[in-house]
A and B are shown apart, each in its own frame.
Chain A
């Protein structure tokens, strides 16, 4: 029997992997992809809870799924803009290495 906890655990593992990817990889594209992984982990968690909370008429709580809908949309927009910035950066600096973009200093 698969329980809610299992889904949440999978979500947690995905999230940690994504976070590690953001911290450890130097290539900006990979960082953006890891970011997507983190978002999707959150989505999985939301959908699991949505299925778990069943109301009196036998329907899952769709609020969470609406939330997931919004997340997917916003994530798509964000990826588009992010990649556009990446392209602009690459055109300016010829590099996608995150260590070379260090102007955001204290």
Chain B
């Protein structure tokens, strides 16, 4: 097996991004073709690598500081990586093709595809990296390309601000991540994953160190996977084009956090305290996001909060020490969430970029294919059998039931809420009568957009079944799950859906008006604004004080006054003032007596 083939997976999108940026920005069709070709090459190679289980990739040494710090450039090709590579490049390919339709009238189509290719390069880099430093570099690159893509329509203030918010918030998490990486390197002497795992045993004598390191590494995931309290960037990131929301903020980038946690499970699972904290943060995120989603009115925001909620589930699974359950949910979630976003994008574009659900309605008749695929995705999301979401969510619920009862009930409550807000969305957008002219005059999307939808809906349907998923993942052990778990899950599902249908059937406006707290997203943004304002205010005041009193008055003023004083003294020699001369004379005499008598 050619050991450079894995490198082609990684580098093809990079080459595409370089060519588009440097040469073909003017020709939009050419740029988009290059980008699509590159991602298809990556996908093909990924499939080839996937089928050859013993493939290895060539490794190069990048940094080597006399053995103390070695960073190779290498790719890891275990089952986890291979699955992720196929997932990322596959969904990426679907989204590239979909973007052709969604962005057909856009001015910045070339730079969109260049950024998209660069993103593919970075994301594939994360899943293929075999050491922490490489992972971190690609991690940061993913953050950057996300910034570029969210701010694609940069002339809109909301989009530019959202891009900044995303980058800065994830950066905060990355800071903790970096410190964690450094601490780990310091403790184990290496940054390569396979070398570090066996050396963790020596650290077992320092539980506090392990906890701190695990939590710091988790910080990176908190930022990148938008967990509480760094979740505030994801809903605002919906300002970007919908295919981007689908790719980056549903299927891949946000999943990178979970992937990273699974990759370094040997670090995280070494500390029980860390695991507990991680599980609770995941749970809190899941519940909080689900609550907020019930009161949102923008179709993409609802889906964004649902992503937050499902990511919370995945992190919860990591915290409950089952990487397998987390990866399974990540896998199924990628399909149905991408599907939902693309379907939502289809609706949006056909309604001329209208995103308020209260201006939609009755679209089941106008956009039938979109409707059917959306229903598939919705049913998968709420965990309705036999769709994929049922299996993966069930695995997590079973895990919680076994290991941590409070978390189980909260997870169940979240499942109820999920059913509620998803069915709410479905009913308001697709059923009833159209609420605006735009809705009345809409028609189905072109093939270039509906075909990816259909492909993804098939995957969303099949993805949960063992015969399919077993090829990709180590499935959570299919042992005796107490029948009560899926039973309770289905009950929650039915209750939630029923409530939603009852409340939102045939409505023209939002009936539940009193839940201000939820509608305003628990006032997180306002709280952070206040915090940042006061921190900056404090810093500004301290700086102003230092500037005015220490620098201006002290250093500058002091030296000027000192010079003035010395000048005044020296002036005495010059001015013809007799008594000045006498004074200096006296000084001289005193000095001479001092040196003659007292020394």
Contact = CB atoms under 8 A, between A and B. Distances in A.
Interface of A: 19, 22-24, 26, 98-99, 101-106
B586 A105 contact: no
A106 B574 contact: yes
Nearest to A23: B582
Pairs A-B, 6 closest by C-beta atoms: A102-B576, A105-B576, A106-B574, A23-B582, A98-B578, A104-B576
B180 to A, nearest CB: 71
Given A19-B586, A23-B583, A23-B586, A99 B573 contact: no
Contacts of A98: 578-579
B578 A24 contact: no
Given A19-B586, A23-B586, A105 B575 contact: yes
13 contacts: A23-B582, A24-B579, A98-B579, A99-B577, A99-B579, A102-B576, A102-B578, A103-B576, A104-B578, A105-B574, A105-B575, A106-B574, A106-B576
Contacts of A105: 574-576
Contact of B573 (A19, A22, A103, A106): A106
B392 to A, nearest CB: 95
Contacts of A102: 575-578
Contacts of A103: 576
Contacts of B579: 22-24, 26, 98-99
Nearest to B577: A102
Contacts of A22: 579, 582
Interface of B: 573-579, 582-583, 586
Contacts of A26: 579
B588 to A, nearest CB: 13
Nearest to B583: A23
Nearest to A104: B576
A31 to B, nearest CB: 8
Contacts of A104: 576, 578
Which one of B574, B576, B578, B582 has the greatest number of beta carbons of chain A within 10 Å?
B578
Contacts of B573: 106
Contacts of B586: 19, 23
A19 B589 CA distance: 11
B587 to A, nearest CB: 10
Contacts of A101: 578
A101 B576 CA distance: 8
Nearest to A99: B577
A102 B579 CA distance: 10
Contacts of B578: 98, 101-102, 104
Contacts of B577: 99, 102
Contacts of B583: 23
A101 B574 CA distance: 14
Contacts of B574: 105-106
Nearest to B578: A98
A23 B576 CA distance: 14
Contacts of A19: 586
Contacts of A23: 579, 582-583, 586
A25 to B, nearest CB: 8
B116 to A, nearest CB: 79
B77 to A, nearest CB: 88
A12 to B, nearest CB: 11
Contacts of A99: 577, 579
Contacts of B576: 102-106
B321 to A, nearest CB: 89
A104 B494 CA distance: 110
Contacts of B575: 102, 105
A106 B571 CA distance: 10
A19 to B, nearest CB: 6
A80 B497 CA distance: 124
Contacts of A24: 579
A98 B578 CA distance: 7
Given A23-B582, A99-B577, 14 more contacts: A19-B586, A22-B582, A23-B583, A24-B579, A26-B579, A98-B578, A101-B578, A102-B575, A102-B578, A104-B576, A105-B574, A105-B575, A105-B576, A106-B574
Contacts of A106: 573-574, 576
Nearest to B581: A104
A99 B578 CA distance: 7
Which one of A23, A101, A103, A106 has the greatest number of beta carbons of chain B within 10 Å?
A23
A99 to B, nearest CB: 7
B365 to A, nearest CB: 105
A103 B573 CA distance: 13
Which one of B573, B574, B582 has the greatest number of beta carbons of chain A within 10 Å?
B582
